[in-house]
Every structure is written in C-alpha cells, then in structure tokens.
A and B are shown apart, each in its own frame.
Chain A
Amino acid sequence: MGEVIVVTSGKGGVGKTTTTANIGTGLTLKGKSVVLVDADIGLRNLDVVMGLENRIVYDLVDVVEGVCRLRQALIKDKRYPNLFLLPAAQTKDKNAVNPEQMQKLAIDLSEEFDYVILDCPAGIEQGFKNAIAGANKAIVVTTPEVSAVRDADRIIGLLEASGLRNPMLIINRIKMEMVKRGDMMNIDDMIDILAIDLLGVIPDDDLIVVSTNRGEPVIATDQSLAGQAYRNVVRRLMGEDIPFMNLESDDGFFKKMAKLFGLNKKKQ
C-alpha cells in the first residue's frame, strides 16, 4: 500500500500545484511509481503544469460516476514511465464528488502506486474536504506572507481536527534579500506560529514561470535553485536528512556561476 499525500494550503496561488508536480516528478526520478491526482474540480491546472492537457480523455468525475474504469482515466507522463496523472473535470464543479468516493479512489490508487499525491484546491469547503478524505499524510504549502500564514494555520487546525496529524510545511517563494531587510517574514516567525515540521524552503525563482508554460516541472532542471530545493524535499520525504539550502546570495560573481552549474555542492 502506497502513501497518500495531500498538498494543501488554504490560500490560493501559493504553489500547491507546482509543488505537487515537482514532488511527483522527483519521486519518480528516484525510481518510485507515482500518481498525481488533481482534486481541483472545475479549475483544473495540474494537467497544464505537467504538459499533458492535450491527452485527457476521461477524468476523475468519470471514474467516480462509473463512466470509465480507473485505468482508462490515468494518463502516462510523456517523459517518465512510472508517473501518471488523474486529471480533474473542467466542466463540473466540486459537488460532483463526495468524500467517501474520494476515500475509495485513494485506496484503489494506493494499491497500484508507491505514492498517491493529491493536489488540493484552495479554500476550506467541499473541495478541501474531498481532497483530504483519502489522505494519510499532508503537506501544507505557504508563502512568507501574513495572509498566507493565517490561512495555513486555519488549514492545519482543520487537518488536525480530521485526524491528519503532523502535517509538514513547505515555505514557498521566499526571497532571502527581503527577509534580511526585514521586508518579508522570516522562517522562524512562521514556524513559531504554525508549529509544524519544516519539509522544505523553496526560493522564488523566475524559472518556475518558464517551466509552467512549457509543461516541464523545474525539478528536472539543474540551473534552478527552486528545482534544487524540490530535489531536497523529495529526499527528505524519502527519509534522508538533508540540511536546508543556504539561500543567501552574498557570494561573488564566480561563486554564483559555480552554484548555477551545480559545482558548488557545499553543505552548511
């Protein structure tokens, strides 16, 4: 039986879909069989981020309604043989599915795959309740902003109330120069409020925009700092103890170049 992980946040636009795509890709690069499930019915975009939007025939609602078998709806990734996507429906909405159906779906999928990763929609209503229904682990994504942290705190409370204890935290889109200037929340303040284990800190990276448009998750790109951070996240998920990246760039020009090409493999 595989792990069923839900990636949630409360607030929209903090990076759940990006995180789902990159963690899924990262795990499959490590040899695991992974299925990504887009639980954002009506506003699907995991398929776009993965570059698979033209290959959708059946979707999650079709499976739940019995229109097709589960196998028929799964889309194999164009790059990796062990990575699959179960897309959401675009023409329906979140009331098309209920939590019990999602639980059964999660069980069925976890029998076939090492990892089932659910991309949760924003909010706390039906979509959220559906997405967490089948999960046994949760990753909470937030950005270093007061509003995002507030929503993440709410979500953690709801997760704990529904039995998903010890969610893990990913802080996304951090800008260390702003943190140093005091213009952005720092990591310690966020953990002080949220009080859950930190899984990863992903720096803000322009290459994310590029990768989304191309449909190629950034974790496979060596030049991206965000990609490096996601690679560390995946290794931590798999049990390795990786120190957090030193995101401060007070390096000179040559050090920066060396980092870009992955030649600077210092651990702190």
Chain B
Amino acid sequence: MAENAVIFKGTKDGLYIILKEEMDLDTIKYNLDKKIKPSKRFFEGAKVMNFKGKELTQEEFNELKEVMEQEYSMTVVGNYSDKTHFVQEERSAVKKPEILEQIPFENVHKGEALIVRTTLRSGQLIQYKGDVVVIGDVNPGAHIKAVGSVIVMGTVRGIIQAGANGDYGAYIVAYKMQPSQLRIGDIITRSPDGMGSKSDNPEIALVEKGMIVVEPYLKNK
C-alpha cells in the first residue's frame, strides 16, 4: 500500500506527482526517494507540473519543491496557488463506477431478423417483413426479398432484394458479393459484366445518391 503513496502520472500537459491523502510529509518524502533514486539520472532535469491529491500547506509545498530541486534536480513548474484548482479537478474526476446506460451511437438498428442456416439453392425464395440473415451461400437462381436489410455469411450469386417496401436505407452485406442482381427499394443493379467481387473482405451494398454502390464493409479495409 505504501508504494501508492506517491504516483507519477503523465498527462498531455506534463508530469504530475499524485500524493496519497492520508500520508504525512515524511512518508511522502521517503516514497519519493524510493521512486526516484534508483533512476536518478533518468529523472534529472525532468519537469513536474505540480503535486496533486493530498492537500498541502504552503510550507509543505515549499519543502517538497525544494526536495525535488535539490535532491533530484527536477523542477516544479507550478505554484502552490495552482494546486487547489487542480485538486478539485482531480477529485471530481474520480467518480464511483456507474452502470453505463445505453450509449446511443449512430447506425444501430433494432428489429427481429429471420436467420436461415442453410445454403439457398436455385429456385428457392425467401420473403420476409424484416431483416434476413443467411448462414450459407445464395446460389444463382435463388431469391431473397426482405423489407429490411440482408446479411449473407457466405457467397451471394443469386438475387438479393432489400428494402422491398421502398426503404433506401436498407443494405446488403455478403462475405463474397457476386450477385446476379441487387435491389434496394426500387433501384436495381447488376455486377459489371464478367466480374465478380475480387475482394477478400466482406462487402456492403447500399444506396448513395440514387445508386447502389458496393464497398468494403469497413472503411479502412
């Protein structure tokens, strides 16, 4: 426990030394020595912004400052008067852990999805009033028609229709995108002739400026 009497903390402003509240000055000085002395050379010339944590009196502050400068050749940049200001910030930063409530972030979609765990063969049709997840391939001649979005954990070679009721926000995701046709809302598109997907990564098809575009599922892939 005594090790934590003195903690060095680097922030973007610089180095702070955090002193444990209950410790007396001698214990603090002892701990500072323990921390700094073994790597004295390393700390020489280092700048300490200020002390934090324990409320110091003006004398205590001055004494510590002197110790830092004399013993360890470290400068204390801040003043005693700054200190209270920082202390409060520090105190307010230490909150009791709370249970995080639902963080609303963008692009979260909630709905009941149909999950199909098979490869769709030619001639098979799935129609669903929601999202569809296929764990398998969609072979040429197979057709998925969803009111929501469609996610295929496999190769798409058939026809996928998302946003069947006119929702242009629906999208289509596949591990390998080689569809005969993609439809979102009433927009229809097909693969460029002779090409399939050349990507090793999953791709997503969505509507941008009135057209269906196919791009990698993550921006930096």
Residues of A that sit less than 8 Å from B by CB:
150-151, 153-154, 156-158, 160, 192-193, 195
Q: Complex: how many Å from CA A154 to CA B65?
A: 84
Known A-B contacts A193-B157, A195-B119; A157 and B140 likewise in contact (beta carbons under 8 Å):
no
**Residue interface bits B134-159, CB-to-A below 8 A is 1, else 0:** 00010111000000000000010100
Closest residue of A by beta carbon distance from B158: A153
Closest residue of A by beta carbon distance from B157: A193
A154 touches B137 (CB 8 A): no
Contacts of A154 in B (CB 8 A): 121-123, 141
Within 8 A of A (CB), among B73-123: 119, 121-123
Q: Complex: how many Å from CA A99 to CA B9?
A: 82
Q: Complex: how many Å from CA A151 to CA B155?
A: 19
Known A-B contacts A193-B157, A195-B119; A153 and B137 likewise in contact (beta carbons under 8 Å):
no
Least CB distance, B138 to chain A, in whole angstroms: 11
The tally of residues in B whose CB lies under 8 Å from a CB in A reads 11
Q: Complex: how many Å from CA A154 to CA B140?
A: 9
Contacts of A195 in B (CB 8 A): 119, 137
B124 at the A interface (CB under 8 A): yes
Q: Complex: how many Å from CA A156 to CA B124?
A: 11
Least CB distance, B153 to chain A, in whole angstroms: 15
Contacts of B139 in A (CB 8 A): 153, 193
Residues of B that sit less than 8 Å from A by CB:
119, 121-124, 137, 139-141, 155, 157
Q: Complex: how many Å from CA A20 to CA B140?
A: 28
Contacts of B155 in A (CB 8 A): 192
Q: Complex: how many Å from CA A220 to CA B157?
A: 41
Q: Complex: how many Å from CA A156 to CA B123?
A: 10
Closest residue of B by beta carbon distance from A195: B119
Least CB distance, B134 to chain A, in whole angstroms: 14
Q: Complex: how many Å from CA A157 to CA B140?
A: 12
Closest residue of B by beta carbon distance from A160: B121
A150 touches B122 (CB 8 A): yes
Contacts of B140 in A (CB 8 A): 150, 153, 193
Contacts of B124 in A (CB 8 A): 157
Q: Complex: how many Å from CA A46 to CA B88?
A: 95
3 closest Cβ pairs, A-B complex = A157-B121, A153-B122, A154-B122
Q: Complex: how many Å from CA A154 to CA B141?
A: 8
Contacts of A193 in B (CB 8 A): 137, 139-140, 157
Contacts of B123 in A (CB 8 A): 153-154, 157-158
Closest residue of A by beta carbon distance from B118: A160
